[in-house]
């Protein structure tokens, strides 16, 4: 059989057109897919960028995330609130209810709050704190009603009653050789405070009495330049005991004076007000905030504040007015002092400075042969003669700037607090600035100097001739508390040792600080007290001073009124600090820093 090869048919025009069409479709599809991929990639980049800028968490509180947008929204809300508050102060200024100076002080405070370098970090801190409180409220079934939120908005809309407050302080003074005031010293301080009030009521000016008290009680915060003035403050801005704050804001008119109140630090204080600014309600506050920020965001902010108040009420009901496990405690307390631990003995003195040409700061530039040094020596010799004849004149001479050339201790009647030798150097071992009086240090740390001795004038090249009244020498704070612990362990009665060396206001009662309940003291003090068996003595506790505690009794009881007044002031802040310390908080510090605008070069 013969086979013949079939010739392939020639392509027709139709087949050519079909192939071209298919190729065009493939190209179009490929191009379309490329475009789609590019768009998808761009979209992904955009979404990733948007998420990074807005949705990515910048912090988390116990697993609850806080976004960048939330921080930005809160910062914007804060600015709106600050600006409206400033407008309210402007209204009070325009109405003549506050002075331009007082308005400027409020303005400066608000401008600080609006600082662009901190406004985002401040906003994040608010959100973190609110998250912790809100979580606690949810876990403890604390529910906030719309009525409570409305009440909080009304509070936000109101500038509270403000007053110009002046306070005079009269601290009980220990009668040597005691280092802490006795019951008699405390009674004398109250009597003196009452006498000062009578002087004012008899026509003597507040400024004159304040200066008089400052001379009699150096370091009593009655600086003659301010007359104890705190300026225009609201009740919440007063850093005084609650009962004293209540009394100040109960005064009916300018010039009225409170009775003397003994503070938790043992000092007697009385106050007057020179101006009363009634509360101001801004009826447009909420609507203005809503128009400049966001109504829903502001209401959420108000709800958070209302929640915090409700939580505070619950905590105070539990730890202030409710029954708690408490311990009756005695204490020996010694202040930390001005030197470093182990810095050696301390001395206390009063000084006058007689500088060449009456300029202490320029003394080093005056040659020792200059007659100004001779004049300074003559004035110092005359002062020594006067003071040895009548030491009671020291305070008056120290306050008289025509006599005393010292510009620092003149406001404390020349009184220098208990300090170690290191602080007499020009620069202390810790690198801080000292008194620059090494010759004075050599004189007052010499053996055998009797208490209340008026020393001969001491030449100091950096100051002039220094006249000193030596008032005593004692071991450093850490050594004194160690000595007390040794004496107690050796059999000395705790109350006897407390009356001898404790610097607490309860020293006159043997260190009896009453009942200690949760959150009354620092965390460290609290832990040590409740870890010490009843009837035993604690180890030394350090921190903001040095302490030894004697635990006398333990009961579950309701705090007495005086104890409740103290607790009301400290319980919630202490509880809140503990809540915040125990929270699991994460913050993206780099992202937060990047939110702040760049510093201009």
Sign of CA dihedral 10, 13, 18, 19: positive
Strand partners, 164: 232, 275
Q: Is 159 helix (H, G, I), strand (E, B) or coil?
A: strand
d(CA 215, CA 200): 17
Mean pLDDT by groups of 10 residues along the chain of 601 residues: 51 57 70 68 51 74 96 95 95 95 93 91 96 97 96 96 94 73 88 96 92 75 62 89 92 95 89 95 93 92 97 97 97 90 89 96 94 97 97 91 91 89 91 93 95 96 96 94 96 95 90 95 95 96 94 96 88 95 94 75 43
Q: What angle do CA 554, 560, 564 make, to 5 degrees?
A: 105
Give the per-residue pLDDT at 420: 95
User: Is 76 in contact with 293 (CB distance < 8 Å)?
Assistant: yes
Report pTM: 0.78
In tens, the pLDDT along 408-424 reads 888 788 999 899 999 99
Give the per-residue pLDDT at 53: 53
d(CA 95, CA 363): 51
Nearest to 414 by CA among 352, 361, 472, 466: 352
Give the per-residue pLDDT at 43: 55
Give the per-residue pLDDT at 215: 75
Give the per-residue pLDDT at 601: 43
Give the per-residue pLDDT at 193: 95
Give the per-residue pLDDT at 173: 84
The CB density around residue 522, as the number of other CB atoms within 10 Å, is 15
Starting at the edge strand found earlier in the chain, the sheet holding 162-170 runs 229-234, 162-170, 268-277, 261-262
Angle of the 146-156 helix axis to the 285-292 helix axis, nearest 10 = 90
In tens, the pLDDT along 347-385 reads 999 999 999 999 999 999 999 999 999 999 999 999 999
Give the per-residue pLDDT at 223: 47
| DSSP-assigned letters across all residues of 296-336 | HHHHHHHHHHHHHHHHHHHHHHHHTSS-EEEEEEEEEEE--
Nearest to 76 by CA among 126, 33, 37, 135: 126
**Cα atoms found within 13 Å of the Cα of residue 321, Cβ hemisphere only:** 6
Nearest to 206 by CA among 276, 274, 277: 274
User: Is 166 in contact with 258 (CB distance < 8 Å)?
Assistant: no
**ω into 177 cis (within 30 of 0):** yes
Give the per-residue pLDDT at 150: 96
């Amino acid at each position: 059989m013969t086979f013949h090869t079939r010739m392939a048919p020639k392509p027709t025009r139709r087949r050519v057109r079909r192939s071209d069409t298919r190729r065009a479709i493939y190209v179009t599809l490929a191009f379309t897919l490329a475009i789609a991929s590019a768009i998808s990639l761009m979209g992904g980049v955009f979404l990733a960028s948007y998420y990074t800028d807005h949705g990515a968490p910048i912090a988390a509180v116990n697993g609850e995330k806080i976004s960048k947008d939330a921080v930005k929204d809160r910062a914007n809300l804060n600015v709106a609130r600050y600006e409206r508050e400033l407008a309210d102060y402007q209204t009070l200024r325009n109405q003549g209810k506050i002075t331009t100076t007082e308005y400027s002080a409020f303005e400066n405070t608000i401008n600080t709050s609006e600082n662009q370098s901190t406004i985002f970090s401040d906003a994040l801190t608010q959100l973190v704190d609110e998250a912790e409180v809100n979580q606690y409220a949810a876990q403890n079934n604390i529910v906030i009603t719309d009525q409570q939120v409305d009440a909080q908005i009304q509070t936000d809309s109101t500038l509270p009653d403000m007053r110009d407050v002046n306070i005079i302080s009269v601290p009980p003074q220990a009668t040597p050789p005691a280092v802490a005031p006795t019951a008699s010293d405390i009674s004398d301080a109250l009597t003196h405070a009452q006498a000062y009030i009578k002087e004012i009521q008899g026509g003597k000016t507040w400024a004159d009495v304040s200066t008089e008290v400052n001379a009699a009680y150096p370091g009593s915060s009655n600086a003659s330049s301010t007359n104890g003035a705190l300026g225009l403050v609201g009740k919440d801005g007063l850093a005084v005991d609650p009962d004293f704050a209540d009394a100040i804001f109960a005064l009916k008119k300018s010039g009225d004076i409170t009775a003397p109140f003994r503070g938790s630090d043992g000092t007697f204080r009385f106050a007057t007000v020179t101006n009363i600014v009634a509360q101001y309600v801004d009826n447009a506050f909420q609507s203005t905030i809503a128009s400049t920020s966001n109504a829903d965001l502001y209401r959420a902010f108000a709800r958070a504040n209302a929640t915090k108040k409700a939580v505070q009420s619950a905590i105070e009901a539990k730890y202030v007015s409710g029954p708690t496990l408490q311990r009756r405690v005695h204490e020996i307390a010694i202040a930390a002092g001005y030197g470093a631990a182990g810095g050696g003995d301390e001395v206390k003195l009063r000084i006058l400075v007689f500088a060449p040409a009456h300029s202490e700061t320029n003394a080093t530039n005056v040659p020792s042969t200059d007659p100004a040094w001779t004049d300074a020596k003559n004035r110092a010799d005359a002062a020594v003669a006067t003071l040895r004849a009548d030491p009671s004149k020291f305070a008056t001479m120290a306050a008289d700037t025509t006599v005393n050339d010292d510009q620092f201790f003149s406001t404390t009647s020349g009184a220098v607090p208990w300090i170690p030798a290191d602080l007499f150097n020009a620069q202390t071992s810790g690198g801080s600035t000292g008194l620059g009086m090494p010759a004075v240090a050599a004189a007052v740390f010499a053996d055998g100097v009797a208490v209340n001795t008026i020393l001969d004038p001491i030449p100091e090249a950096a100051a002039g001739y220094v006249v000193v009244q030596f008032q005593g020498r004692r071991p450093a704070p850490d050594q004194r508390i160690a000595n007390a612990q040794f004496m107690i362990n050796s059999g000395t009665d705790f109350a006897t040792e407390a009356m001898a060396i404790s610097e607490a206001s309860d020293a006159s009662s043997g260190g009896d600080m009453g009942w200690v309940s949760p959150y009354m003291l620092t965390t460290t003090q609290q832990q040590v007290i409740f870890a010490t068996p009843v009837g035993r003595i604690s180890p030394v506790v350090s921190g903001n001073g040095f302490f030894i505690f004697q635990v006398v009794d333990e009961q579950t009881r309701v705090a007495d009124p005086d104890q409740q007044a103290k607790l009301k002031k400290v319980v919630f802040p202490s509880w809140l600090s503990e809540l915040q310390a125990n929270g699991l908080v994460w913050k993206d510090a780099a992202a937060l820093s990047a939110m702040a605008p760049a510093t201009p070069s």
